[in-house]
Structure 1
Amino acid sequence: MTRSGLIWSILAALGVGGAAFAFAIAWRPAIAEIDPPKPQSFDADLVKRGRVLASIGNCNDCHTVRGGKNYAGGLPVPTPFGTVFSSNITPDPETGIGRWPEAAFRRAMRSGVARNGAHLYPTFPYDHFTNVSDEDDRALYAFLMTREPVHAPARPNQLSFPLDQRMVIAGWKLLFLRRGTYQPDSSKSAEWNRGAYLVEGLAHCGACHTPRNALGAERISAAFAGGDVDNWQAYPINAASPAPVPWTAEALYAYLRDGFHPDHGTARGPMAQVVSNLASVPAGDVRAIAIYMADVLGPPTPDRKREGELALAQATKPTPSAPQAEAGGAAIYHAACATCHESGRQPPYGGINLGLSTVVTSPDPRNLANIVLSGIRSVEGERSPIMPGFAPSMSDEQIVTLLTYLRTRFSSQPAWTDLAKLVREARRTQTVFLQTSAGPNSAPVDAKQRGVP
């Protein structure tokens, strides 16, 4: 054999071997179908427990299109790589998980692999769900298999090649998926460990509150340092928290339970959905989450304590007269905002004190822009905060002027930059999100109807 022939033979062998290795890594066997189990075959207490766990995991908000059937999927999840649509997890035998045995459900939770062996995109946070116990997986399975079956075929994902090939996800898992259940810390209390198990597992708080690397995986070294979700910022919930007043376990518990705390404001955006679900969760679980997260945040330093005391003192002072350069923003504020936000009444009868609001002191103005544009709609049957959205009545220029004034008046932080571009993008993104999240067969929804995206 000639030298060139030998080289080509070696390259061919390496190519075949590499392809075989890649296939061995990526291939997962299908798990045999079952006949859909009857709802009454599941223990009622197990189903009840599964309902609580589904609320902790926020399953309904990720797997339900706005105005659609519960758990029928189709909700768009925007990523830097394209849009992935959530799947139908009702017990429909054709388009849902009705023919999945419990073993297939557990594999999806632990390894991100569907019953048919296909790799699931990590927008389904199995990198957290791998920490969920067998007992809790069983309860979740029982709950989902007793829901109303909905025939809802999967919406095609909008991803470019090669990311539209699910086998690629096998490589991502090799790099970033760490399988294994949560191990308790014997040096901590039972409450702390319960909170850690929920936060690091089913509640998957880090999926939103941790920044991601170029390949879309959480940066473990920057856990809870803040992230991006649907054009909202999930604030840092570690020592880098921008909250004007330092968080405590008691404040976290009240905020997670009620969606509001007088020293921290109101839960909005995706966090409002989390709080809504936690309202149906046993108080002990919510308190455990608060205790664990308070430990992650850590005790405030003396400087942070002084900053918090100063913020509380400043928040009680009346609004001073604005300099001429800020007169435009002050006029808009007094006409549109001050009546509620300086009333001294707590929500829902008054607005929060903006001097204590993280949306004003945060380095990122997106959340404040989103709230001003879309407002806060009331929750049916609950005493909840409400605020009109100003997207229909204010121009982008007016909103920029208002945001600039709020930053100057209610914080000591540096001025935001590129506000005009950000407001334009926030208005555009809001419109696109409302259109895509309504589902393929839903009537159009505008920002004024919907309130908060």
Structure 2
Amino acid sequence: MNARRWGLVLAVFVAGVALLAALIGWELRAGALPVATVEPMPSDGSVTARGARLANAGNCMACHTARGGAPFAGGRRIETPFGDLYASNLTPDDETGLGLWSREAFRRAMQQGISRDGRLLYPAFPYAHFTRMSDDDVEALRTYLRFAPAVRQPNTPHALRFPFNTQAALALWRLMHFEPQRFQPDTTQSAEWNRGAYLVQGVAHCAACHGTRNAWGATTDPFGGEALPDGRWRAPSLHDPRQAGVQAWPLERVVALLRDGSVDGASVAGPMAEVVFHGTQYLPEAELRAMATYLRALPVRTSAPPEFAAADSSVLAAGEQLYGQHCADCHGKAGEGKPGQYPPLAGNRVVTMDDPTNALQAIVGGGFPPATPGHPYPYGMPPFRTLLTDTEIAAVASYLRQSWGHRASAVRSLEVQRVR
């Protein structure tokens, strides 16, 4: 390549870098907003009640409350592939919470992902989903939080690796993956479907867990399923009936699962148990029906199962023996379970999912459905973390996945070790 061409390439490169720098600078242009003025308690309690329902739908308390801490006071650690984030204080304390946040500052954070002081917020705070919320709903949520008990608790600084801890990197991520947008109803669908879409896509931000993500942590398929950022659980696909798709379920069964956490033949566990315990059990029936209507209407997309890996006969024999010793009394000799008490394992989608992570988590760490009015005294499963070795847990899991008509691949002890 001659000097002229090298010069042209260099000029294009410099121009590209300059353009990118200008775009990042434009993304970082937001400034601080004035502090809030004193606001009286609203005379109409319906706005606060509406905000409480939205907070429940968004499961705000679960993320913004540290274990054993005051509600909404922040401090909970959120593990990501890029480092650790810590949830902020949402209480109306002036120094450490939202006490000085104006209506405009709160709306900008929810819909644009920009803090009161002008800093860009990390998308672990799911503003990429909250951006769909209406101004009225954002204000109702702010009203609810503004008149909750104030807690003075300083926010814990994030612990992200370089360059992910820089505002420039965050600005670049937003240029690539974020565009503010309000929810637009689909006129070809019913009002109930649209309400469900608004809740699922917006305030409930279901895709924050169930969405497939790329290497940058951005959602590429809102409901395609993905391992959670900490790697401990997998949020299954809501498109695939082999995973968590409910397209073939009766509407009332979907409503009952969201409300009660348990129905005959299925129950929630892990992070989804938190969603029900802190959130969906408190939603009005109409909201749950709308969400169920939308979820049942998601298009069915199934993936081809991986090549089947049969377990060795000695492994299955060991697994059968361990199952009879530790599991059969509750789940039944043929995995039939006990209605209202213990879920069946025969035909259970958690058992037969291609990725065995959730089943292994239940064995290693125990299974604890949420306590709800519809299921106030759920039976829990004790953890076998200290009772069984990796090899023994792998044998039990392989037996479950290849018994009673199941055809799911065997589990290796290395997979159990990873879950531990």
Measured against the shorter chain, the TM-score band is 0.7 to 0.9
- Report % sequence identity: 37
- What CA distance in whole angstroms lies between the structure 2 residues aligned with 1:332 and 1:9? 69
TM (norm. structure 1) is 0.81
Match of 1:338 in 2: 328
CA pair 411-233 structure 1, distance change in 2 beyond 3 A: farther
- SS of the equivalent of 1:392 reads coil
CA pair 346-211 structure 1, distance change in 2 beyond 3 A: same
Tell me the amino acid that sits aligned with residue 95 of structure 1: T
* 2:367 is the alignment partner of 1:400: no
- What CA distance in whole angstroms lies between the structure 2 residues aligned with 1:237 and 1:19? 39
Aligned length: 395
CA drift of 1:325 comes to 4.9
Match of 1:269 in 2: 270
CA drift of 1:34 comes to 2.2
- Aligned ranges for residues 101-250 of structure 1 at < 5 Å? 101-219=102-220, 222-229=221-228, 230=230, 231-239=232-240, 241-242=242-243, 246-250=248-252
- What CA distance in whole angstroms lies between the structure 2 residues aligned with 1:10 and 1:223? 36
- What CA distance in whole angstroms lies between the structure 2 residues aligned with 1:267 and 1:17? 48
> Are the aligned partners of 2:363 and 2:384 in contact in 1 as well (CA < 8 Å)?
yes
Match of 1:374 in 2: 365
- SS of the equivalent of 2:346 reads helix
Match of 1:420 in 2: 413
- What CA distance in whole angstroms lies between the structure 1 residues aligned with 2:288 and 2:318? 43
Deviations 1:389-417 (A, max 9, x none): 11132222221111111111145323135
Deviations 1:103-139 (A, max 9, x none): 1000001110000000000001111100001111011
> Are the aligned partners of 1:65 and 1:75 in contact in 2 as well (CA < 8 Å)?
yes
> Are the aligned partners of 1:73 and 1:87 in contact in 2 as well (CA < 8 Å)?
yes
CA drift of 1:16 comes to 7.1
**Structure 2 stretches of 5 or more lacking a match?**
303-311
Match of 1:313 in 2: none
> Are the aligned partners of 1:372 and 1:390 in contact in 2 as well (CA < 8 Å)?
yes
CA drift of 1:297 comes to 4.5
CA pair 270-86 structure 1, distance change in 2 beyond 3 A: same
TM (norm. structure 2) is 0.87
> Are the aligned partners of 1:243 and 1:357 in contact in 2 as well (CA < 8 Å)?
no
CA drift of 1:298 comes to 4.5
Match of 2:284 in 1: 282
CA drift of 1:21 comes to 4.7
CA drift of 1:252 comes to 1.6
Match of 2:382 in 1: 388
User: Among 337, 347, 352, which residue is 2:340 paired with?
Assistant: 347
CA drift of 1:167 comes to 3.3
- What CA distance in whole angstroms lies between the structure 1 residues aligned with 2:281 and 2:143? 22
Match of 1:329 in 2: 319
CA pair 44-339 structure 1, distance change in 2 beyond 3 A: same
Q: RMSD of the alignment, in Å?
A: 2.8
> Are the aligned partners of 1:244 and 1:358 in contact in 2 as well (CA < 8 Å)?
no
The structure whose residues are more often helix, as a share, is 1
- What CA distance in whole angstroms lies between the structure 2 residues aligned with 1:251 and 1:10? 59
- SS of the equivalent of 1:354 reads coil
